[in-house]
Structure 1
């Protein structure tokens, strides 16, 4: 067979396709794990809500005992039946209920080991509820009366206090009247708003610690991105 430029007629020439025409699965290899499995991208907040809210993962105070079956001492069936009778209900032990996904258990373990116990419990509670700490987005400093009188046909009126008496003279003689003031306060106070926003910032820092911990583990089906909730959402309000 004749040769043309070092090639024989009939040779197969490999052609590399541009990235734009590669199939979607090939272009997403960057989010694959070490086992070559494709993973779903989630933010750290989304991963926590999936693990605790959807898969119902649990925090283990003693993970070694939980894995090794070294929990609290066992109890007899009679004691459990007596407790059920006291509650007036039966515990659902249907076997069709599935266990949490392995990734969900691993995320719960990272949360437990990245934070203090009360911090991990708080993060898990918010993730199960699918919400963030209440940073009082609608809070505005308002001057309001300390107390109110009972409403009448004219509506509610502020309660007043007597702080003194005033005396003056008229043609009819000397008249004395009470000097009344309306005690007021600010609600919510600046300290309450600041405390709520400090709580949000603490939660944000806890999520950052969890994100760093999740970056060091190899999840099977999830890829945790660097996306974080807004750091100071109150600054974005008009």
Structure 2
């Protein structure tokens, strides 16, 4: 009875809303009209269900992405704050590392995450003795070095290029900064921390960033060497 009442209600609404020619078609026999109307109702319900499912799926996916983004930004902010004391004129950060340079005071700060806690290290330009870009192939346990290694000593400067075969996929890119009279003797600034293809946008962005900072630190080493040679 309720279904029939609902049917009659829909009929009344349709009589007002649907143009006369179309309404005449729908009234082709009581049974035919019922069947057509029921099929239309089922179709509308099915479409509404699909739209609701798509909306819920989108919200769940978007919520997951938002949680990942918030986690990334929270770690990034923590790392940046951990080296804020040097008043960096140049700064780079991601969720694993923050690099900052104070050109006036000639200081370099690096902060990395350990058990979710930033561990900052601040040292002077004179402590930097080498800088190297290191790529880790996804299918190899041994790192393949890329770029130019710059070693600065007392009157010495050695440039060395590592031409090992590069993997098609890369799992990690680090900037290795070696330090004099320090423990540890080097620190790793991580620029890429998941597996990507070498022709991907992620690889290109990380490569450009690490190359930029390699160049910055290389200039610092060269200037320190020039000062020692005077």
TM above 0.5 = no
Larger strand proportion of the pair:
2
| TM-score interval (norm. to shorter) | under 0.3
Greater relative contact order structure (CA < 8 Å, 6+ sep): 1
> TM-score when scaled to structure 2?
0.23
